[in-house]
């Protein structure tokens, strides 16, 4: 999604909050599509009480929930690890993340080239963009798309809620990472540099609430117990006296 389009959509939408207050995560591992088979892993963190509904756009088939300019985060909005790099979002001061449901198909089988999917995105920039923005803009973006290529109608946009991302079926998953620099004059921008790649998703772990990670104290007790077992196994037998 282009930063300019996203910002304009949010500015034009009537935004209303939702009442839930549930943390969600969507983690993945995969491989970069560049022939190198470079492993990649990452994930998203959302809290439903922070997500705002951007309303139904004029086209009538996209339903978006946005965490705009998050502050006081206990976990990064998104993270990505590949080729020795560890990226965390927000990377720059200006940031938003979103969950988007595309419901262009209304009955199965869907017409060819109709959008029926959900996608997750985090976008961060060093300067706030506006329709008359002038300056050099640095942005980074990560997006994961779950789409159906079998013409199934599996998204119900009007009733979609953010927590659906942990229960909807997963079909064809693809991710995109992009970092770019643009020179803009009065809102008209030209590309200075653009580094992007796409990647497959091989495994996904998603859920509500905190991730299932042992507490440090539990890990310490487990290590102590295992150490005791190893010492017992290595102790030489006692010779009869």
Q: Give dist(CA 100, CA 64) in Å, integer.
A: 4
The per-residue pLDDT for 75 is: 86
pLDDT band at 89 (very low <50, low <70, confident <90, very high): very high
Dist. CA 149–CA 144, nearest whole Å: 16
Mean pLDDT score of the chain: 81
pLDDT reported for residue 21? 76
Q: Are 177 and 169 in contact (CB under 8 A)?
A: no
- Tokens 């009007």 locate to 158
pLDDT in tens, 193-210: 999 999 999 999 999 998
Give the torsion through C-alpha atoms of 170, 89, 56, 23, to 10 deg.
60
Contacts of 222 (CB under 8 A, 6+ apart): 214
Q: How far apart are CA 97 and CA 69, in angstroms?
A: 8
Compute the average pLDDT of residues 49-77: 83
Per-residue model confidence as pLDDT tens digits over 149-192 = 777 888 998 899 999 999 999 999 999 999 999 999 999 999 99
């Amino acid at each position: 999604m282009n930063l300019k389009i996203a910002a304009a959509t949010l500015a034009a939408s009537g935004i209303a909050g939702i009442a839930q207050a549930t943390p969600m995560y969507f983690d993945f591992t995969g491989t970069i599509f560049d022939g190198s088979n470079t492993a990649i892993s990452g994930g998203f963190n959302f809290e439903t009480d922070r997500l705002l509904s951007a309303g139904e756009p004029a086209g009538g088939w996209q339903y978006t929930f946005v965490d705009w300019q998050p502050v006081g985060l206990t976990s990064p909005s998104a993270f990505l690890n590949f080729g020795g790099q560890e990226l965390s979002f927000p990377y720059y001061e200006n940031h938003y993340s979103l969950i988007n449901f595309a419901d262009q198909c209304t009955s199965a089988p869907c017409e060819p080239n109709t959008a029926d999917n959900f996608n997750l995105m985090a976008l961060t920039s060093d300067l706030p963009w506006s329709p008359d923005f002038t300056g050099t803009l640095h942005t980074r973006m990560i997006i994961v798309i779950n789409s159906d290529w079998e013409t199934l109608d599996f998204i119900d946009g009007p009733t979609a809620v953010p927590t659906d991302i942990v229960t909807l079926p997963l079909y064809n998953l693809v991710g995109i990472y992009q970092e770019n620099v643009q020179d803009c004059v009065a809102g008209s921008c030209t590309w200075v540099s653009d580094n992007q790649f796409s990647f497959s998703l091989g495994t996904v772990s998603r859920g509500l609430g905190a991730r299932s990670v042992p507490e440090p104290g539990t890990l310490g007790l487990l290590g102590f117990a295992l150490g005791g077992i190893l010492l017992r196994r290595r102790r030489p037998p006692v010779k009869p006296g």
